[in-house]
A and B are shown apart, each in its own frame.
With several copies, the nearest count.
Chain A
Amino acid sequence: MNFDFSDEAREFQAQARRFFDAEAGPDAARRIMDGGEPYDKSMWQGVVELGLPALRVPEAHGGVGLGAEEACLIAEEIGRSLAPVPLMSTMLFTEALLAAGSAEQQARWLPGIADGSVIGCFGWGEGGTQVPTSMPDTRVTKDGLRGHKAPVADATAAHVAVVTVAGDEGPILMLVDLAQDAAEVTPVDVLDLVRPHGRIRLDNATAEPMGDADACADVLDKAAVLTAFEAIGTQDAAMAMAVDYAKDRVAFGQRIGRYQGVKHKAADMYIKQQLARAHAMHGAWAFGADAPELRQAAAAARVASLDALAFTAEENVQLHGGIGFTWESNCQFYYRRSRALSAALGSRGFWSDRLVRTLERRNRVAA
C-alpha cells in the first residue's frame, strides 16, 4: 500500500513552498490589507511562471496535466503562506470546469487559465445564510440569469465565474463570463482583510449551463477537500507561530513552553492537525481515484480541518498574550482567515450532518 503523496508531488509542493516563503507570508498579506489592490500582481506573475494555475489543466489545453494530489498540496501552501493571489479561487473554478464543463467550455477557458491570463472564481453564497445544497435564489429567467452571489472570494479580480443556480433537483452550476454589463461585480467588506471578496449582481446575465445537481454535489466535495488542505496549511502556520513564541517568550523566569498549560495546548493543536490531515489525505486519494469514499472523506476533512484551524487561530492569540491581540501581530491573519474558510462552503452543522448521512447510507448498503 502507499497512503502518501508521490515524491514528484512532494517536490512540486517544495518548489511552491520555496516560492511562497520568499514572496508571500504576513508582510505580503499586510500590503494587500493596507493598500487597496485586489491581489498582488507581481506575485501572480510568479505563480503563473511556476505553472500553478496550469497545474490541473490538461496538456491539450496548454496545461501541466497533473493530478488531484498536486492540487491538494498547492492548496496547503496557499493556506500556509496566505498568498494574496486569486489562485485558490482559480483552482476551484478549474476543478468545476474539469468536472462539469463541456468540451467547448473547457476549450474556451482552460488555455487562459493555463497561461495565467484568466482568473476564475466560485460563487456559492447569497449574502445571507446559504446551505450549499439548498436552493439558491439565483435562477434562469427567459431573459437570462437573475440573482446575486456574495461574498465571492476574488470576484473583483476574476474574469469568469462558476455560480450555483436553482435547478429542478437542487442547485446546478452555470458559467458566467464577467465581461458583460449584466454581471456587475462590486467589492464587499468581509472579516478577512487579505482575501478580497465581491458581490456578483446578475441582471439577466448571459450564462451557460454547466453541471446538473449531481455534478454540483461532486464539485462541492472536491472543493471541500481542496479547502481542507488550505485550512491545514493555515493551521500549520499558526501552530508554528505559537510554538516558536512558546520557545522564546519568558514569564516567571522560564520559557512559557515549559508550562503544561501552554504545552498541552500546543499538543492539542498538533493532534487536531493530524486528524484533519488523515481525513484530508483520504479525501485527496478518493478525489484522485474517483472513489465512492470521496463524499465522507470530504465532509470529515472539512469539519476536522476547520475545527483544528479555529482552535489554533484562537489559542495562538491566547498564547501570545497582549501582543497577540495587537494589529501589528500576525495572529490576526489566522484568526480572520479561519472565519473566511468556515463561511466559504457552508456551516459546520451542514457538513457534519452530510457526513452522518453518508455514513448512514453506507451502513444501509452494508446491511
Chain B
Amino acid sequence: MDFNDSPEEAKIREEVRAWIKDAAAEYEGLPAPASREEFVARQKSWQKKKYDAGHAGITWPKKFGGQGKGPMESIIFSQEEGKSPAPTALYAIGLGMCIPTVFTHGNQDVIDRFVPPSLSGEEIWCQLFSEPAAGSDLAGIRTKAEKDGSDWVINGQKVWTTNAHLCDYGIIVTRTDPSAPKHKGLTMFIVDMRADGVECRPLKQMSGGSDFNEVFFDEVRVPDAWRLGEEGEGWKVALTTLMNERLAVGGKPRYSPDWSTLLDVAKEIETALGPASEQADVRDQVAQAYINDQGVKLTQQRSLSALSQGKTPGPEQSISKVVVAKQMQEISRFALDISESAGFMAADEGSELARLQGSYFGAAGLRIAGGTDEILRNIIAERVLGLPGDLRPPKDTPFNEIEAL
C-alpha cells in the first residue's frame, strides 16, 4: 500500500499545480462578486483559461474537443483546482452531466452547435429532471412534450434546478406518451432557457437561502433536432446522465463541520464536571464523527486507488452520502445542544456556531438531495447485496392508468 502519487501522477500534479498557480493568481483574495453578472463573468473567465490551456474536458474524447485522458488526470486537476482560489461553481452540472449526454445521444449538428461553446464556458447548462410529483420516483415525470410539426411543445414544471436562472440551455426529460408504461413514454430534449414560456423562480429553502429554482414551461417550442436519443427512450438517456452524476465522487460539503469543530466548540463549554471536551459523551461523539467522516474519505481513497490502478472502483463508494448527511445532522444537533443558549441565537457570520447552525439545516436537505437515505439504502441492499426489490404494481401498467395503492 502507498498513499503517495505514482511517479507519473506526481509529474502530472506538478505540471497542473504550476499552471494553476499562475492562471488562478488573479483570483487570490478577491472580494465576493458584487453582482450576479460579476459572479458569472468570473466563472466564465476561469473556464475559458482552462479551455485555452487544454485543461477542459480532460476525460472527454478528442473528437468532442476533450483531452482523451484518464480519470486520474481529471481527479488530480480537480484536487489542485480545489486548493486554489479559482472560481469553479457553474460548470460541474453542465460539463459533468449535460454535455456528455448531448454528445452521447445528440445528432452531429447538435454536437457541433453545443459542445464547443459549453466547453469554453460561453454557454452554461442545467439539468431539468425532478418534478413535484417525481422525486425519489424520478420516472413519475409529468411534464408533457407534444409533437407539433417538426417541433415539440413542452408544458409542465421542474424543481430543484441548480442555477437555472443563470443558464443558457438545459436538458429536460418529458413525457411524450402517457399511454405507454411509466419508463417507456419519456423523451429527452435540449431546451433553450431563454425561450418564450420558460420562467425560473427561486426556490426558497427552509434555511432561508435559495440555491435552486423552480422552472415553469408554458408552450415552450423545441425543434425535433434537439431531441436526445429516440422518442420514448428518455429513461435510458436519463440513466446515462445520472450515471455520470454518480461518477462524481460525492463527499461532504466543504462548509460542513467535522470532529475537530465539535472538539473546539466543546473546549469552550464549562460544565459542572469541567470542560465539555473532557466528558465521555462528547468524546464519544467526536470519535463517531471521525469514524464516519474519515471512514468515508478513506473509502473514497479506495475508489481513487482503483482508478489509479486502472481498475473499476468497487460498490463501497455507495455508502458516502448516506453516512455523511446523517453524520452532519447528528454532529450539528449535538454541538448546538451542548452550546445551549449560544447554539440557539443566530451566531456571527463565519463563527463555528454559525457553521453548525447552517449545517443543521443543510443536513436536512442533504439527506434528501440526489437520493434520500431510504432510496440509497434500497440501492445498496438491492444492487450491492442482491436483495429483491420492493413489491410494486406491475411494470407494464400504462402511466395514465397507474392508480395509487
Do B137 and A325 have beta carbons less than 8 Å apart? no
Which of B41-49, B184-192, B390-398 contacts the other chain?
A: B390-398
Encoded as 1 (CB less than 8 Å from any B CB) or 0, chain A from 313 to 344 comes to 01001100111111111011001000110110
Q: CB-CB < 8 A to A223: which residues of B?
A: none
Q: Which of B356-405 contact A (CB under 8 A)?
A: 357, 360-361, 364-365, 367-369, 372-374, 376-378, 380-382, 384-393, 397, 402-405
Closest B residue by C-beta to A316? B364
Q: Is A304 an interface residue (CB 8 A)?
A: yes
Closest B residue by C-beta to A271? B319
Q: CB-CB < 8 A to B319: which residues of A?
A: 270-271, 274-275
Report 25 cross-chain contacts, Cβ distance below 8 Å, ordered by A residue: A2-B2, A3-B304, A127-B345, A128-B341, A150-B341, A191-B346, A197-B345, A255-B404, A258-B390, A263-B387, A267-B376, A267-B378, A274-B295, A278-B299, A279-B291, A281-B1, A321-B136, A323-B132, A326-B204, A342-B337, A343-B343, A349-B276, A349-B281, A349-B337, A352-B283
Q: Is A303 an interface residue (CB 8 A)?
A: yes
Do B206 and A335 have beta carbons less than 8 Å apart? yes
A-B contact count (CB 8 A): 304
Q: CB-CB < 8 A to B280: which residues of A?
A: 349, 353
Do A325 and B338 have beta carbons less than 8 Å apart? no
Q: CB-CB < 8 A to A317: which residues of B?
A: 206, 364, 368
Q: How far apart are A267's CB and chain B's nearest CB, in angstroms? A: 4
The answer to whether A347 and B392 touch (CB under 8 A), given A264-B381, A327-B205, A327-B208, is no
Do B136 and A4 have beta carbons less than 8 Å apart? no
Q: Is A189 an interface residue (CB 8 A)?
A: yes
Which of A191, A253, A284, A348 lies in contact with B404, CB distance below 8 A?
A253
Do A266 and B341 have beta carbons less than 8 Å apart? no
Do B159 and A314 have beta carbons less than 8 Å apart? no
Do B1 and A258 have beta carbons less than 8 Å apart? no
Given A267-B385, A328-B204, 20 further pairs, Cβ under 8 A: A129-B269, A129-B270, A129-B339, A129-B342, A131-B271, A190-B345, A250-B133, A254-B404, A260-B378, A268-B377, A271-B380, A278-B295, A278-B299, A300-B287, A300-B295, A326-B206, A327-B205, A342-B337, A356-B287, A363-B260
Q: Is the interface of A mostly helix, strand, loop or mixed?
A: helix
Q: Is B17 an interface residue (CB 8 A)?
A: no
Q: CB-CB < 8 A to B387: which residues of A?
A: 243, 246-247, 257-258, 262-263, 266
Which of B18-26, B63-71, B95-103, B305-313 contacts the other chain?
A: B305-313
Q: Which of B249-267 contact A (CB under 8 A)?
A: 259-260, 263
The answer to whether A284 and B1 touch (CB under 8 A), given A252-B390, A254-B392, A258-B388, is yes
Q: CB-CB < 8 A to A349: which residues of B?
A: 271, 276, 279-281, 284, 337-338
Q: How far apart are A222's CB and chain B's nearest CB, in angstroms? A: 15
Q: How far apart are A32's CB and chain B's nearest CB, in angstroms? A: 16
How far, in whole Å, are A277 and B340 apart by their CA atoms in the complex?
24
Of listed A253, A255, A346, residue having the most chain B CB within 10 A: A253
Do B272 and A134 have beta carbons less than 8 Å apart? yes
Q: Is A230 an interface residue (CB 8 A)?
A: no
Do A262 and B374 have beta carbons less than 8 Å apart? yes
The answer to whether A348 and B337 touch (CB under 8 A), given A254-B391, A259-B374, A356-B287, is yes
Q: CB-CB < 8 A to B402: which residues of A?
A: 253
Q: How far apart are A270's CB and chain B's nearest CB, in angstroms? A: 6
Closest B residue by C-beta to A328? B204
Q: CB-CB < 8 A to B9: which residues of A?
A: 1
How far, in whole Å, are A314 and B360 apart by their CA atoms in the complex?
10
Taking beta carbons and an 8 Å cutoff, which residues of A are in contact with B? 1-6, 69, 124-131, 133-134, 150-151, 188-192, 197, 243, 246-247, 250-255, 257-264, 266-268, 270-271, 274-279, 281-282, 284-285, 288-289, 296, 299-300, 303-304, 310, 314, 317-318, 321-329, 331-332, 335, 339-340, 342-343, 346-350, 352-353, 355-356, 359-360, 363
Q: CB-CB < 8 A to B130: which residues of A?
A: 322
The answer to whether A151 and B344 touch (CB under 8 A), given A131-B271, A259-B390, A274-B319, is yes
Q: CB-CB < 8 A to B369: which residues of A?
A: 322
Q: CB-CB < 8 A to A339: which residues of B?
A: 336, 343-344, 360
Do A253 and B386 have beta carbons less than 8 Å apart? no
Q: Is B355 an interface residue (CB 8 A)?
A: no
The 3 A-B pairs with the shortest beta carbon distances in the complex, nearest first, are A125-B341, A343-B344, A275-B295
Do B136 and A189 have beta carbons less than 8 Å apart? no
Closest B residue by C-beta to A323? B132
How far, in whole Å, are A90 and B329 apart by their CA atoms in the complex?
33
The answer to whether A125 and B374 touch (CB under 8 A), given A2-B309, A278-B299, is no
Q: Is B77 an interface residue (CB 8 A)?
A: no
The answer to whether A304 and B291 touch (CB under 8 A), given A4-B306, A270-B319, is yes
Q: CB-CB < 8 A to A264: which residues of B?
A: 374, 377-378, 381
Q: Is B78 an interface residue (CB 8 A)?
A: no
The answer to whether A2 and B308 touch (CB under 8 A), given A318-B367, A326-B206, A327-B208, is yes
Q: How far apart are B227's CB and chain A's nearest CB, in angstroms? A: 27
How far, in whole Å, are A322 and B136 apart by their CA atoms in the complex?
9
Q: Is B166 an interface residue (CB 8 A)?
A: no
Q: Which of B313-365 contact A (CB under 8 A)?
A: 316, 319, 322-323, 329, 333, 336-346, 357, 360-361, 364-365
Do B284 and A329 have beta carbons less than 8 Å apart? no
Do B136 and A258 have beta carbons less than 8 Å apart? no
Do A247 and B338 have beta carbons less than 8 Å apart? no
Which of A188, A189, A278, A363 lies in contact with B302, CB distance below 8 A?
A278
Q: CB-CB < 8 A to B133: which residues of A?
A: 250
How far, in whole Å, are A321 and B284 apart by their CA atoms in the complex?
30
Q: How far apart are B348's CB and chain A's nearest CB, in angstroms? A: 11
The answer to whether A1 and B271 touch (CB under 8 A), given A150-B341, A253-B402, A258-B405, is no
The answer to whether A271 and B135 touch (CB under 8 A), given A127-B345, A264-B374, A285-B1, is no
Q: Is B226 an interface residue (CB 8 A)?
A: no
Do B301 and A127 have beta carbons less than 8 Å apart? no
Q: Is B294 an interface residue (CB 8 A)?
A: yes
Q: How far apart are A298's CB and chain B's nearest CB, in angstroms? A: 13
Q: Is B14 an interface residue (CB 8 A)?
A: no
